[in-house]
Amino acid sequence: MNLKFTLIVLILFTLSKITYSQSVSEKKSIAIFNQFCSTCHGEKIEAFVDRKWTHGKKKPDIIRTITEGYLDGGMPSWKTTISKKEIEKLADLILKKMKTVEQYQFNTQKTDTYFSGKMTIKLDTVGTGFDSPWGLAQLPDGRLLVTDRAGFLYIIEKNKNRTLIKNTPKVLAKGQGGLLDVALHPDYQSNGWVYLSYSKPEQKEGSSLSTTAIIRGKIKGDQFVEANEIFEARPYVSTTHHYGSRIVFDKKGFMYFSVGDRGKHFEYAQAIDNDLGKIHRLFPDGKIPQDNPFQSQGNVSAFSYGSRNPQGLALNPFDGNIWENEHGPRGGDEINFIKSGANYGWPVICYGINYDGKPITNISEKEGMEQPEFYYIPSIAPSGMTFVTGDKYPEWEGDILIGSLRFNYLERAEVDNNKVVNSHKELLNVGRLRNVKMGSDGYIYIAVENPGMVFRLISK
């Protein structure tokens, strides 16, 4: 009996030593990766699921790449810095982390019924025939305003037919530009103001330029009337992407809206003397709040800066704070809690790498720059954002919902004390999810692309 017991103890001790040894070995590999590799390949090793394997992705290929490097592609040789054994363990670590890509390999079968905890979610088709339904807003009578990025504003009637609203602003419907967000004035029932964001074109010295602009007007019949522009981002640039363009009002009646860095000159996002790469705050009529943080530096509308391409902006109805999501490069999409005067770091700090695989920056933290509440590697391409309220979705109440353009699902983030504490993938394969919005009727509405459709989520 004692001999058997002794043998069992020895076996268990041996197994624990093996397990501990493996754990220590992986921890050492992670430390080596963080020291020598993370500045180019991202802090989270899962970044490797989001790359093209130019030189092969089997273990011998990875070992050869780390050992010999590819200087023309920016990859140095590490054979004089990292031992052969350590390089082999690094390859094992990378291969193990590559398996995380499986979480995005969804069954491609289409469905109109989904399950989340004890809830059954069904898609109720509200509108069809759009190119890219970008902005959503619900009128007091239950009808929906929908912007189509191609340059059109529609009202979806209760019978699900749609009415084209004429006389909306001319847009540059190219690249990521077009007619973008739509929002209602907090006192819409008494004043009728409707706000549109769009890519405004300009011809200058033979060059085609554009910027993000905000206009407000009223809808009478099928016409957009009494229109006046209340914001125009400066400078105009030649690129046709990173417009940002979400609009949201807070409980005090301030209007917040996002402007992207426009994807050409990264330095715009860190400079206060321009409007790009920032969250702005105005009164609904375009006037400047006197407590905006950068007035003494010459930027009267900016509320925060250091953003890349914020395509989600939402009011937390439980405490009145503003949140945003923004596209990172390859990796590093962010969820941020927006604070007055804060610097969100782009491009000085970042958790992603450039599209060509080269580093944008070698740091992800810096004093005086905000850390994201949550970040994504690989990138999910976030767009649209809303907080869940009411009793129709009891298991989601208080959570943030975000559309994933890249992976075709609804991202659900749990929030506790202004911190994202967990995330979930919902509505897998629903489509390129461009926007998600809580309607005034208590239902969640989503807009997807290719083909462009709008759905109401029915929970049972």
The tens-digit pLDDT sequence of the chain (460 residues) is: 555 555 554 555 454 444 444 555 888 988 888 888 876 777 777 767 766 778 898 999 999 999 998 877 778 899 998 999 999 999 898 888 877 777 787 877 789 999 999 999 999 999 999 999 999 999 999 999 999 999 999 999 988 999 999 999 999 999 999 999 999 999 999 999 999 999 999 999 889 999 999 999 999 999 999 999 999 999 999 999 999 999 999 999 999 999 999 998 889 999 999 999 999 999 999 999 999 999 999 999 999 999 999 999 999 999 999 999 999 998 899 999 999 999 999 999 999 888 777 788 889 999 999 999 999 988 999 999 999 999 999 999 999 999 999 999 999 999 998 899 999 999 999 999 999 999 999 999 999 998 999 999 999 8
Conformational region of residue 131, where left means phi above 0, alpha means psi within -120 to 50, and beta covers everything else: alpha
> Longest Cα pair distance anywhere in the chain, in angstroms?
94
Dihedral of alpha carbons 160, 166, 172, 177, sign: negative
Give burial (CB, 10 Å; 0-12/13-18/19+) of 24: exposed
This prediction's pTM: 0.89
* Residues labelled as active-site residues: 242
CB 298 within 8 Å of CB 273: yes
Question: What Å distances lie between residue 357 and 38, 39, 301, 331, 354, CA to CA?
Answer: 12, 11, 35, 11, 5
Domains (ranges, CATH) in the chain? Answer: 2-103 (1.10.760.10), 114-459 (2.120.10.30)
Q: At what angle do helices 59-68 and 84-98 cross, to 10 degrees?
A: 130
Query: What's residue 9's pLDDT?
Result: 47
CB 336 within 8 Å of CB 308: no
What is the C-alpha to C-alpha distance for residues 283 and 455, in angstroms, rounded to an integer? 32
Query: What's residue 165's pLDDT?
Result: 98
What is the C-alpha to C-alpha distance for residues 223 and 220, in angstroms, rounded to an integer? 5
Query: What's residue 6's pLDDT?
Result: 53
Tokens standing for 153?
């504003």
Query: What's residue 18's pLDDT?
Result: 47
Q: Which residues contact 159 (CB under 8 A, 6 or more apart)?
A: none
CB 252 within 8 Å of CB 317: no
Q: What is the CA radius of gyration of the chain?
A: 25
Q: Which residues contact 225 (CB under 8 A, 6 or more apart)?
A: 167, 217, 218, 219
What is the C-alpha to C-alpha distance for residues 317 and 398, in angstroms, rounded to an integer? 9
